[in-house]
Amino acid sequence: MDPMTIGTIAVVAVLALIMLRVPIAVALIFVSFVGIWAIIGERPAMSMLSSVPYKFAASWTLSSVPMFLFMGYVAYHSGLTRGMFDGARAWLGWLPGGLAIASLAGAGGFAAVTGSSIACSAAIGRIAVPEMHRQGYDIRIATGSVAAGGTIGALIPPSILLILFGIQAEVSITKLFVGGLIVGLISLALYVVAVLVTYFAAPDRLPRAQVGSWEERWAGVREVWPVLVMILVVFGGLFSGLFTATEAGAVGALIAVVVGLARKSLNWDAFKESAVDTLLSSGSLFMIAVGANLFTRLVSLSGLSRWIGNGIEALDLGVLGILILITLIYLALGMFLEPIGAMLLTLPLFLPLIEAQGIDVIWFGILLAKLLEIGMITPPVGLNVFVIHSVAKDFVRLEQIFAGVLPFLAADLVLVVAMLASHALF
């Protein structure tokens, strides 16, 4: 059997195994090993299986992942992020659709600590959705705003998705973080516009909340200021060049522990739970990334990436046409696969094409993060939607949440079109 056929069968096999609920890491590693064996033999395949995980895990940059995860878990388990929504509500609740806007602002702040969409949706959803329900908000917008707000976690640093992209594509993580912050804040602004448009179209769906007193506002500031200081120190140092990504994660983790101890909110149980969660999450991510590295070797050996690149170039779509085609593919994949798995599965196929077309890899990484996070709120497998349903299933149906995210999906698509247009023009 020729290498191209083996590569094609491997891609189909991985997708089939994932659809059968086989863990992505297992599917990637197993299929890659068998495919490499079929192309170049048993001994080279065994050699790759033993060397690739070590070389990947020995990456210094990769150590930023558990550091940022530990920072987020310590902040979460010690209650440092608990006041995010309350603080945002005190300052923003008076606006039209103020509680929904406060939910988005709280999600943005939480994202800057954890970098996780699912954790962001779960944490803010537990607090914000019941509160908006009590205030008489249309449950569709109440849940949709939190589900959409959680997607900001893939863009605002420390985005785990962007860290892994930077490692795989061998580009600056700091530059990815800067671009992700800009696009994340634009996404947040567009989400606020979506809430305001919904309010002025039907004010009864989003009743104004009671204006918070100045005492409540300053109480909110006192509650979240340690987190804000931590964010400023970590990312100020990172963007100024004082820290590398790994050092920034370590500094953030240390500050989270010190603040938690100083406030007496971090006890041994919370510390242990944070460490265990970090190990489990890091191990899961690293296994997927190791599988993706093996899959990259298989795709390269089979010549499949060159064949795909040549095939797309033969269509004579131009750079913009190629970007639109890739955008549509990722929007479709996002409906069925979780973001990190979808990214690591497809980068070996598309990254050589992107580089060959002279497309800026940093810009593409940020676009990719945005596209994959849109999949977190699109049916049938919008993970953020299912997370929100799990915390509010007593008073909301799944289809109502999917209806509620539609204004925010429209805002996302406007941003994607603007990014593609900007690339075409500039």
CA distance 198 to 204: 10
- pLDDT higher than threshold 70 for residue 209: no
Return the top range by mean pLDDT from 20-29, 98-107, 172-181: 172-181
pLDDT for position 411: 96
CA distance 252 to 254: 5
- pLDDT higher than threshold 90 for residue 410: yes
Residues 146-203: tens digit of each pLDDT:
999 888 878 888 888 898 899 888 899 999 999 999 999 999 999 999 999 988 888 8
pLDDT for position 214: 67
CA distance 64 to 248: 8
pLDDT for position 293: 83
| % pLDDT > 90, the chain | 22
Q: Length of the chain in residues, anyone?
A: 426
Residues 275-317: tens digit of each pLDDT:
998 898 888 888 888 888 888 888 888 887 778 777 777 777 8
The chain-wide mean pLDDT, for the chain, equals 85
- pLDDT higher than threshold 80 for residue 70: yes
- pLDDT higher than threshold 70 for residue 212: no
CA distance 147 to 301: 40
- pLDDT higher than threshold 90 for residue 95: no
Average pLDDT (240-256) is 85
Peptide bond into 380 cis (omega under 30): yes
Average pLDDT (344-370) is 90
The three-class DSSP label of residue 210 is coil
pLDDT for position 82: 67
Residues 108-121: tens digit of each pLDDT:
887 777 777 777 78
CA distance 86 to 102: 8
pLDDT for position 277: 87
**DSSP 8-class letter at 78:** T
The three-class DSSP label of residue 80 is coil
Residues 363-383: tens digit of each pLDDT:
999 999 999 989 889 887 788
Region of 316 on the Ramachandran plot (φ > 0 left; ψ -120 to 50 alpha; else beta) = left
CA distance 350 to 328: 13
Peptide bond into 158 cis (omega under 30): yes
